[in-house]
Chain A
Amino acid sequence: MIARLHFNKHLLETPFYPRTAPLNKHSEWGAWSGHLSATGFGDTEMEYTAIRNGASVYDLCPMVKYRITGPDAVAYLDRLTVRNVAKLTPGGVHYTVWCDDAGKVLDDGTLFRHGPQDFLLCCQERHLPWLTDATLGFEVAVEEITETIAALSLQGPCTASVLSAAGWDVSSLRPFRMTKVPFDGTTLTISRTGFTGDLGYELWIGPAHALALWDHLFTAGAPWGIRPIGSDALNMARIEAGFLIAGMDFIPAEQALREDRVRSPFELGLDWLIDWNKDHFNGRRALIRERESRASQWSLVGLDIAGNVSAEGSLIYHAKQKEVGYITAALWSPTTKRNLAIAHLKRPYAAAKSDNLWVEIYALRELQYVKLMVPARITPRPFFTPARRRATPPGRF
């Protein structure tokens, strides 16, 4: 039940707010799905370093969450998403996308299988009408439960050690698996997932236990310099990991105003997720047509750009002349020491004609934009993928 006075706060505080607020030295907050979300805690560089060196904590509560239950949950999700859900065993997690009828991506997200008929779908955008309309003909229930779960993302090479110090042995937990442990009189779910491309875990618990979890974690993590991070630092890590964000790297198909903005999984480099052998899934016929008639218009690629000026929002040219694409995310990567970007390129400039690409960068230098035209080459994603990301048991770092 939503209180009538909800309008007094446009952005809700998450259950961790009593802890994050005092730590947020510059009061740097942004909006994420109707919640206050820290963009930083005062020092983005040190926050980023915590992700890549120690242990970082990111408040995941605003992530949109749908619970999907019922005897037909697998069949329903198989029809909804492009990946094979039957292959996802209970206790498992996978990254997936779902498409509209035209095979254009509606969103991406992670699907958690808690039980044979019990799933949690986490994503960036809101889809309740689509998810409910898709239930027709399936014995399945869909519920939006964003505010009933508090979640933290614990990321960094020392996070297994932190969890161990907290009393939870996760040494045998493989990537994309989860485990449940008792905590504070309730059940804490720990999944080996994350958005940094590094070793990391996500912790899921009832909102009433959020502060206890936070305190316990920060006590246990103190020796490893555990610290809260904001979305600015996280964004650096996720670009290095080559992950996409709906609304930033692609426009979800149901939101696109301009018809040429929508993208298929092929055009986002996500076609590897598609299971062509499973039964019908939404958009399948359109995607088969796209594959067979090679109708994809775009490619999503990683770029390595000369120099060290971040190319955020830049346009890409072929032979410095023809506009052939644009950049949706970019940074000078502290870990790889490369100037990286995620870019949409018109085909065939991502493959056959990828030799002569240039990026036009407007660099602000003392109130004045300086225009640079610098060469770029396509480079595989993820840009950074350390062995510790997958090692089981994770090493001690």
Chain B
Amino acid sequence: MTCDALIIGAGHNGLVTACYLARAGMKVTVAEKNDWIGGAAVSRELYPGFTYSNCSYVCSLFRPEIMRDLELPRYGLQILPYEGGVVFMENGDYLGMFRDHDANRREFARHSPRDAEAYDRYSRDIMRHCRFIRPLLMRTPPDPSSFKPRDLSELAYLGRKAMELSEVQISDMIRFWTMSISDFLDGYFESPVIKAYLAVSAIIGTALGPMSPGSAYVLLHHYMGDVDGNVGAWGFARGGMGAITQALKASLEASGGTIKAGHGVEKVLVRNGRAVGVELDNGETLHATRVISNMDVRRTFLKHVAADELPSDFVRQVKRFKTRGSSGKLNIALDAAPKFTALPEGAPNLRGDLHFTDTVERMERAYDDWKSGHFTRDPFQDVMIPTMIDPTMTPPGKHFMSCFVQYAPPRIEGRDWTDADRDAFGQACVNQINRFAPGFKDLILHMEVRTPRELEAEVGLTEGNIFQGELTFDQLLFNRPVPGYAQYRSPIKALWMCGSSTHPGGGVMGAPGRNAAAEILRDARMGIDMSDAYAVL
């Protein structure tokens, strides 16, 4: 039996592609190695009664066009904006974030009256950059080395868009894309803690420090999303991040697609330079007219495709593709809400992201540790307690806490992580939280610690890189994943890519999956209505 499309990996991008193809009338099968689906967008009960978003943990980037096209709300997806946010400071004070503009201004003014009034211009400037780049997310990147009409017209589109901007804006934009977030923030703010808070989005998931050039772009990558039109806002998926992939699964099944979970793909079968199916690790063979890999590009082509089927230049570029993981994760079941001594009673800030790194310098030093192959003893953590907002994930009064931690290298001084390393890593993070919330340790009912090693072993992300490849210019746009193959196609006919290794990259965005589907359908001369990128008036 042959299906029209076989998708390797039931992560969110694989499922997005699958849904679009199924809706267009293809017979679609998704093969998933784990016996659960979702990849890194998953909710799992790892402690009785507690749902963990144990990989990705917040949602903003997931494209509303996709939710709408695939009717995900109908299949149970609900996105909840979150509130607040706080940086706990070494001196016992804190910087809180407030959704209310004036409350936020006054909070900033506690730290610097000037910065309080600088924040509006900063937000305006970031939004200007977002407005330019957002429409590019849902477009296949042109190949600048090609003279094909489609590439030329797409390049012309980009050129026209750029020429709509003034000289000052173009200059500012190029400067912004190439500089470090630390230097960029210096242009607006003086307060170290305000800079530390705003630098966060520039390092999440990245093998860069806040002082690395190019980190400002990463910030943009995290600001390009929105919650119901509120650009830059972040939220939770009700029921954990698995709610996204569960809704995709339901949507897929409603359009007649099937998911085969529990057996990984051993290899992609290639006949006469054309992908014809896959062989599973139980020896089963699945035939397909086309194969689409949601795995990262290194895993796909270095592990599951025979090297002699690929041009050596391509293999070489794939080997060069950088997937260095930089983060770890703690998932914690809590008996009660932790009490942070610095925060006054009634502060809404725990309903958002919690940080314990109050200077950009501390973040950068943690990055220096990563570069030299160590996890850091003074980690940067992006902590969330989604159960402050989402009542579905734990028993009442109990909480689930997600701690995203930087920096954790893929290997420790060139060797693999050991269990002892992992435990020490987890302990460093817990100790940091405990310093600001005495008694926190005693609330822990269960804790899962994940280093890049666990992330790779379980979810299959090479080196534990959450973006399936670093977000530096050499791996963005037409360079992603490798030059000449940025249009979701591979050197092998009928073998496609749809994961975050492709444009526009990682984050639970779904854009690579949709763009890949658009290319596949175009290639198959099949049409389907896809809603336009939301109008940016």
Contacts and interface: CB of A to CB of B under 8 A. Distances in A.
Q: Do chains A and B touch in the complex (CB under 8 A)?
A: yes
B83 to A, nearest CB: 11
A126 interface: yes
Contacts of B116: 128
B121 interface: yes
A34 B113 contact: no
B311 interface: no
B117 A126 contact: yes
A254 B110 contact: no
Interface in B160-202: 165-166, 168-169, 188
A6 B121 contact: no
A4 B110 contact: yes
A255 B113 CA distance: 18
A256 B131 CA distance: 13
A33 B106 CA distance: 11
A298 B23 CA distance: 50
B283 interface: no
Nearest to A127: B117
A8 B168 CA distance: 41
A11 interface: yes
B121 A7 contact: no
Interface in B117-139: 117-118, 120-121, 124, 127-128, 131
A182 interface: no
Contact of A7 (B113, B169, B347): B347
A31 interface: yes
A38 to B, nearest CB: 17
A2 interface: yes
A255 B124 CA distance: 6
Contacts of A257: 124, 127-128, 131
A11 B118 contact: no
B114 A132 contact: yes
A5 B345 CA distance: 9
Contact of A129 (B100, B118, B124, B128): B118
A108 to B, nearest CB: 17
B131 A7 contact: no
Contact of A128 (B107, B113, B166): B113
Contact of B100 (A10, A126, A256): A10
A257 B130 CA distance: 11
A323 interface: no
Interface in B82-113: 96, 98, 100-103, 105-107, 109-110, 113
B76 interface: no
Contact of A34 (B106, B121, B128, B188): B106
A358 to B, nearest CB: 24
B344 interface: yes
A204 to B, nearest CB: 21
A128 B117 contact: yes
A7 B120 contact: no
Nearest to A129: B118
Contacts of B127: 257
B338 to A, nearest CB: 19
A144 B106 CA distance: 13
Interface residues of B, number: 31
Interface in A199-216: none
B123 to A, nearest CB: 10
A5 B169 CA distance: 39
A325 B165 CA distance: 22
B117 A7 contact: no
Nearest to A256: B124
A259 interface: yes
Nearest to A10: B100
Contacts of B346: 5, 8
Contacts of B373: none
A252 to B, nearest CB: 10
B126 to A, nearest CB: 10
Contacts of B114: 128-129, 132
Contact of B103 (A6, A102, A259): A6
A34 B101 CA distance: 8
Contact of A11 (B102, B107, B117, B121): B102
B124 A7 contact: no
Contact of B120 (A4, A126, A259): A126
A144 B113 contact: yes
Contacts of B264: none
A254 B98 contact: no
B330 to A, nearest CB: 28
Contacts of A6: 103, 106-107, 110
Contacts of A33: 102
B213 interface: no
A70 to B, nearest CB: 17
A127 B118 CA distance: 8
B25 interface: no
B172 to A, nearest CB: 11
Given A34-B105, A257-B128, A2 B120 contact: no
Interface string A125-167: 0111100100000000000100000000000000000000000
Nearest to B343: A4
B103 A10 contact: yes
A128 B105 CA distance: 12
Interface string A1-25: 0101111101100000000000000
Contacts of A128: 113-114, 116-118
A2 B344 contact: no
B348 interface: yes
Nearest to A101: B168
B166 A259 contact: yes
A24 B445 CA distance: 53
Nearest to B115: A129
Interface string B329-365: 0000000000000001011100000000000000000
Nearest to B100: A10
Contact of A254 (B101, B107, B121, B348): B121
A259 B165 contact: yes
A14 to B, nearest CB: 13
A205 to B, nearest CB: 23
A34 B120 CA distance: 14
Nearest to B168: A102
A259 B117 contact: no
Contacts of A34: 101-102, 105-106
Contacts of A2: 106-107, 109-110
B128 A7 contact: no
Contact of B98 (A7, A102, A129, A144): A7
A119 B39 CA distance: 62
Contacts of A129: 114, 117-118, 121, 188
Contacts of A256: 124
A127 B117 CA distance: 7
Contacts of B117: 126-129, 144
A259 B161 CA distance: 13
A139 to B, nearest CB: 19
Contacts of A7: 96, 98, 100, 103, 106-107, 347-348
A7 B104 CA distance: 8
A333 B96 CA distance: 46
Nearest to B164: A259
Contacts of B169: 259
Most buried by A among B98, B106, B116, B124: B106
Most buried by A among B98, B131, B344: B344
A126 B101 CA distance: 13
Nearest to B99: A10
Nearest to B189: A129
Given A129-B114, A132-B114, A259-B169, 9 more contacts: A2-B109, A6-B106, A6-B107, A8-B346, A127-B117, A128-B118, A254-B124, A255-B124, A256-B124
28 contacts: A2-B106, A4-B110, A5-B344, A8-B346, A10-B100, A10-B102, A11-B102, A33-B102, A34-B102, A102-B168, A126-B105, A126-B117, A128-B114, A128-B117, A128-B118, A129-B114, A129-B118, A132-B114, A144-B117, A254-B120, A254-B124, A255-B120, A255-B121, A255-B124, A256-B124, A257-B127, A259-B165, A259-B169
